[in-house]
């Protein structure tokens, strides 16, 4: 670490702040259009919560692509697995879930989250070893194989849990909303924002402040060089893949709770959204993915309120607009 | 010459292809009834659709997830004009023409927009665009009929009630349904031969060169963007034709029959299992797939029942007829690994070794 701490003298790359300003500008722009302050607050918070959940699902995908040059079309499968872990984990904890105390609810929720992350992390390990490893560097086969993986996992979920929708009620203390002036803020959305922020900060901390993160970022820039310096990049790969899958599982659990139902098709549905988000952010960039998620979710919420028909294509419109401005996304990763 | 100097090669493969084509050609007389007719028509449509996808995936090395979008454009083109203008040949021609133009323009736009960059990027963009298109089609109900889709009437001659020959020689009856089937069959044959010609043309050769080594192809003076975009447009046009034929046969177009992502998955499964970069794989693959879809499920149903009866409830779920995609998915993964040229590649390779 010491060698890096003295790096203050090194030339610093200028931070690009324009993309950071975009969500803020969008929120400010929407305010006069929406009109009422309370509606605007509700919409903005809903957008932030949705954005955080999308970020949790998409961050792993962009990280895996950045480091390994693998686009995992099966990433959505881990989202679905996370959702089903919630169904299984909450079943024996009915008493804790029904309890009106928030502490008791969190006692059920946090272990479920951890379990979802462990299960999807292990699933990610198996997925990487069985499917992805033999096709490194072959994009076409990667797409086909991971797509096949998505189909198989989705079908396995159907076979195990049945094709029906599984209801997933929210914990008692997280139902309903907190009145804030004239605006009503749904409690669960607050929780989603908190969890999303924790994920983002933890990722940023790991990536920018630890040696592991340094190696990962170096691997994104130039994998061969990292290998030449004696680090086993294979282990790094698999670790990042597992972490990415675990984040997808966490996001899937959060999303399923948000929708209060779990179904295997959620994986395929979220896949498109996560793709758009990481394209907007710049393939491989975690910060870009974060901004892209919030931007997309905010726009979807405002558009859904102002012009519901436009909201159907707001995602695509946003992607096209961003790509016309920056063809490689908000924060292009240099080496790709 | 009719095969453009690209015969199937391999005795078994040739025999198999002849068998499929002959059976399809005689299907209305060999297997009377509506289910076999539907199966045969679906095989024809999918053979064309998958062959057009193979043009992209197998020959140009581009993965697109927007192929159902073009299929849907064709289907909706026919449906909307026949619904709005009434059942006439003119309306049909207008619908087909409009669909082909729209598909070509869309493909051109997507191609110019995103084919410059990597395979992965293109795959992701097409996936996003196709899903947005599917949502739009199901929401613009004044135009497309929404989730219910459009049921429309076809010209008199193609209707089931029409009789060209009633109880003719050998007791055969040629109804409008039979004529519809032959319209589909003949169009597919012609379009397939055109595609075969395209991949054997200099243009097709360049596509394959780009697939094998883009840098080298570019160094030899071939514009990659131009060739890839043209391939994308051609594939889109053929897919739109397949969609139009499918709509004509079903006399109905809706999101489930034309735009659903499940069709995209079916196309992927067929092209990989049949054999990428062979075109003939599309015929064999489509025939196997559609037959399996319609008849294998019955078999799985039997296995499901037997396992359920023997008390192995959990294991039985994996043999539920609704889970047949699970087994196809596994077969798909194995195909990509172990025989990327699919059934056709396997059949071609054997005589040499």
Judged by CB atoms closer than 8 Å, whether chains meet at A71 and B136 is answered as: no
**Cβ pair B204, B10 in contact under 8 A:** no
Q: How many structural domains compose chain A?
A: 1
Inspect the interface and report whether the beta carbons of A143 and B119 lie closer than 8 Å.
yes
Query: Residue A152 and residue B63: Cβ atoms within 8 Å?
Result: no
Hey, where are the domains in chain B? Answer: 11-349
Cβ-count burial B160-185 (b if 16+ within 10 Å, e if not): eebeeeeeeeeeeebbbbbbbbebbb
A147 CB near a chain B CB, below 8 Å? Answer: yes
User: Could you tell me what percentage of chain A is helix, strand and coil, using 3-state DSSP and rounding each to the nearest 5?
Assistant: 80, 5, 20
| B322–chain A Cβ distance below 8 A for any pair | yes
What's the token pair of residue B289? 């797939």
CA distance B177 to chain A (A): 36
* Distance spanning both ends of chain A, measured CA to CA: 28
User: Phi then psi for B79, rounded to 5 degrees?
Assistant: -60, -45
**Per-residue confidence (pLDDT) for residue B246, from 0 to 100:** 95
Residues 252-281 of A with CB under 8 A from B: 268, 271-272, 275-276, 279
**d(C-alpha A211, C-alpha A205), whole Å:** 11
Compare CB distances from B63 to A140, A152, A271 and report the shortest one's residue.
A140
Q: Select the residue from B113, B131, B140 to test the A interface by mutation, using most A Cβ atoms within 10 A.
A: B131
- Which of A253, A321, A322 lies closest to A285 in space, CA to CA? A322
Residues in B 61-100 with any Cβ partner in A closer than 8 A: 61, 63
B263-313 residue pLDDT tens: 998 999 899 888 888 889 999 999 999 988 888 777 877 877 777 777 666
Give, as one character, the DSSP assignment of residue B196.
H
Q: Which of B213, B336, B338 to mutate to test the interface with A (most CBs of A within 10 A)?
A: B336
What pLDDT is recorded for position A6? 53
Contact B124 A323 (CB under 8 A): no
- In this complex, do B127 and A271 lie within 8 Å of one another by their Cβ atoms? yes
Nearest-CA distance from A312 to chain B in Å? Answer: 7
Parallel/antiparallel/unpaired status of strands A261-262 and B150-151: unpaired
- Interface confidence, given as ipTM, is 0.83
Cα–Cα distance measured from residue B187 to residue A57, given in angstroms and rounded to the nearest whole number? 45
User: What does residue B151 show for φ and ψ, rounded to 5 degrees?
Assistant: -100, 130
| B55 burial level (CB within 10 Å; 0-12, 13-18, 19+) | buried
Residues 6+ apart with CB under 8 A from B346: B275, B339
Residues 119-178 of B with CB under 8 A from A: 119-121, 123-125, 127-129, 131-132, 135-136, 139
CA distance A171 to chain B (A): 30
**pTM listed for this prediction:** 0.87
Gap from B26 CA to chain A (nearest CA, Å): 35
Residue A124 lies in a domain: yes
**Directed axis angle between helix A266-281 and helix A233-259, to 10°?**
120
Do the chains contact at A312 and B329, CB–CB below 8 Å?
A: no
Please, is A305 exposed, middle or buried when counting C-beta atoms within 10 Å of its C-beta (0-12, 13-18, 19+)?
middle
Architecture of domain B11-349: Orthogonal Bundle (1.10)
Instruction: Give the gap in angstroms from C-alpha B69 to the nearest C-alpha of chain A.
Output: 15
Residue pair B50/B271 in contact (Cβ under 8 Å)? The answer is yes
Alpha carbon dihedral B253, B259, B264, B270, in 10-degree steps, equals: 0
Measured distance CA(B336)–CA(B333) in Å, rounded? 5
* Cα of B135 to nearest chain A Cα, Å: 7
The answer to whether residues A251 and A82 touch, using CB atoms and an 8 Å cutoff, is yes
Rounded to whole angstroms, how far apart are CA atoms A312 and B102?
21
Q: How many whole angstroms separate alpha carbon B106 and alpha carbon B99?
A: 10
User: What values do phi and psi take at A184, rounded to 5?
Assistant: -110, 130
Q: CA–CA separation, B137 vs A84, rounded Å?
A: 31
- Which residue ranges in chain A fall short of pLDDT 70? 1-13, 334-336
Percent of chain A with pLDDT over 90: 34
Chain B residues inside the 8 Å CB shell of A323 = 113
Q: Cα A28 from chain centroid?
A: 25
Tokens standing for B44? 């024809």
3-state secondary structure of B153: coil
* Alpha carbon distance A193, A45 (integer Å): 8
Q: How many CB atoms lie within 10 A of CB B110?
A: 22
A126 lies in which domain range? 34-267
CA A116 – CA B315 distance, rounded (Å):
24
pLDDT at site B312: 64
Integer Cα distance of B221 and B201 in angstroms: 17
pLDDT string in tens for chain B (353-residue length): 577 677 777 788 889 999 999 999 988 888 888 888 999 999 999 999 999 999 999 998 888 999 999 999 999 999 999 999 988 899 999 999 999 999 999 999 988 877 666 778 888 889 889 988 998 888 888 888 888 888 888 888 888 878 777 777 776 778 888 899 999 999 999 999 999 999 989 999 999 998 888 889 989 999 888 899 999 999 999 999 999 999 999 999 988 888 888 899 899 989 988 888 888 999 999 999 998 888 877 787 787 777 777 766 677 777 777 788 888 889 889 888 888 788 888 888 654 44
Rounded to whole angstroms, how far apart are CA atoms A170 and A168? Answer: 7
* Contact state of A163 with B118 under an 8 Å Cβ cutoff: no
Q: Which of A52, A91, A102, A118 is nearest to A292 (CA)?
A: A52
Given CB atoms, is B118 within the 8 Å cutoff of chain A? yes
Position A275 scores a pLDDT of 92
Residue A171 DSSP code: P
Q: Looking at the complex, does the CB of residue A215 fall below 8 Å from at least one CB of chain B?
A: no
User: Which of A139, A268, A319 lies nearest to residue B118, judging by beta carbons?
Assistant: A139
Instruction: Decide if B332 and A148 are in contact by the 8 Å CB cutoff.
Output: yes
Q: Smallest Cα–Cα separation from B34: which of B294, B288, B284?
A: B294
d(CA A292, CA A31): 20
Helix (H, G, I), strand (E, B) or coil at B156: helix
Sign of CA dihedral A156, A78, A275, A61: negative
CB contact under 8 A, A144 and B261: no
CB contact under 8 A, B333 and A152: yes
Residues A280 and A295 sit within 8 Å (Cβ to Cβ)? yes
| CA distance to partner chain A, nearest, from residue B132 (Å) | 6
Cβ contacts below 8 Å, chain A against chain B, sum to 98
pLDDT of residue B353: 42
Q: Does A313 touch chain B (CB under 8 A)?
A: yes
């Amino acid at each position: 670490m010491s060698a890096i701490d003295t790096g203050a003298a090194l030339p610093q790359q200028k931070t690009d702040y324009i993309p950071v300003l975009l969500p803020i500008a969008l929120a400010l722009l929407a305010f006069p259009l929406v009109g009422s302050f309370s509606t605007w607050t509700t919409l903005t918070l809903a957008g932030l919560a949705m954005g955080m959940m999308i970020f949790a699902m998409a961050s792993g995908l962009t990280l895996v692509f950045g480091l390994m040059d693998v686009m995992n079309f099966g990433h959505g499968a881990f989202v679905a697995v996370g959702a089903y872990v919630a169904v299984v984990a909450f079943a024996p904890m009915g008493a804790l879930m029904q309890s009106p105390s928030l502490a008791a609810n969190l006692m059920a929720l946090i272990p479920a989250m951890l379990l979802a992350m462990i299960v999807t992390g292990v699933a990610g390990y198996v997925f990487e070893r069985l499917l992805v490893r033999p096709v490194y560097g072959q994009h076409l086969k990667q797409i086909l194989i991971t797509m096949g993986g998505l189909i198989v996992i989705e079908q396995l979920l159907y076979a195990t849990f049945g094709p029906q929708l599984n209801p997933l009620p929210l914990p008692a203390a997280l139902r309903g909303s907190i009145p804030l002036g004239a605006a009503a803020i749904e409690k669960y959305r607050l929780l989603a924002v908190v969890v999303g922020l924790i994920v983002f900060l933890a990722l940023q901390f790991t990536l920018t402040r630890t040696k592991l993160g340094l190696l990962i970022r170096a691997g994104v820039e130039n994998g061969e060089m990292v290998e030449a310096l004696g680090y086993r990049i294979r282990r790094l790969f698999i670790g990042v893949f597992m972490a990415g899958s675990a984040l997808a599982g966490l996001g899937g659990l959060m999303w399923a709770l948000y929708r209060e139902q779990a179904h295997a098709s959620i994986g395929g549905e979220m896949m498109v959204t996560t793709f758009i988000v990481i394209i907007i952010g710049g393939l491989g960039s975690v910060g870009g993915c974060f901004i892209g998620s919030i931007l997309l979710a905010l726009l979807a919420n405002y558009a859904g309120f102002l012009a519901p028909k436009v909201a159907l294509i707001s995602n695509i419109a946003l992607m096209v607009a961003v790509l016309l401005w920056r063809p490689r996304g908000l924060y292009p990763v240099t080496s790709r | 010459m009719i095969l453009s100097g690209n015969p199937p090669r391999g005795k078994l493969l040739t025999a198999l292809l002849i068998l499929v084509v002959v059976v399809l050609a005689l299907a209305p007389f060999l297997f009377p009834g509506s289910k076999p007719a539907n199966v045969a028509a679906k095989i024809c449509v999918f053979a064309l659709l998958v062959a057009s996808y193979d043009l992209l995936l197998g020959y140009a090395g581009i993965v697109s997830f927007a192929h159902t979008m073009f299929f849907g454009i064709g289907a909706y083109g026919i449906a909307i004009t026949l619904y709005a203008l009434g059942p006439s040949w003119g309306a049909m021609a207008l619908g087909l023409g409009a669909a082909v133009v729209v598909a070509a323009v869309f493909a051109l736009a997507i191609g110019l927009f995103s084919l410059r960059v990597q395979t992965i990027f293109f795959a992701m963009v097409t996936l996003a665009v196709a899903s947005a298109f599917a949502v739009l089609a199901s929401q613009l109900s004044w135009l497309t009929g929404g989730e219910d889709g459009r049921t429309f009437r076809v010209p008199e001659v193609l209707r089931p009630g029409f009789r060209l020959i009633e109880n003719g020689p050998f007791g055969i009856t040629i109804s409008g349904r039979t004529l519809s089937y032959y319209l589909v069959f003949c169009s597919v044959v012609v379009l397939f031969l055109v595609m075969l010609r395209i991949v054997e043309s200099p243009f097709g050769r360049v596509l394959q060169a780009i697939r094998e080594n883009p840098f080298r192809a570019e160094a030899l003076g071939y514009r990659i963007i131009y060739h890839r975009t043209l391939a994308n447009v051609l594939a889109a046009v053929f897919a739109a034709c397949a969609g139009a034929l499918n709509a004509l046969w079903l006399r109905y177009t809706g999101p489930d029959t034309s735009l659903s992502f499940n069709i995209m998955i079916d196309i992927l499964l067929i092209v990989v299992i049949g054999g990428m970069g062979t075109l003939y794989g599309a015929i064999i693959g489509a025939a196997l797939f559609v037959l399996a879809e319609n008849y294998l499920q019955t078999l799985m149903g039997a296995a499901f029942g037997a396992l359920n009866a023997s008390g192995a409830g959990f294991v039985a779920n994996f043999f539920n007829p609704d889970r047949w995609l699970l087994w196809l998915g596994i077969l798909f993964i194995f195909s990509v690994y172990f025989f990327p040229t699919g059934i056709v590649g396997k059949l071609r390779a054997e005589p040499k070794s």
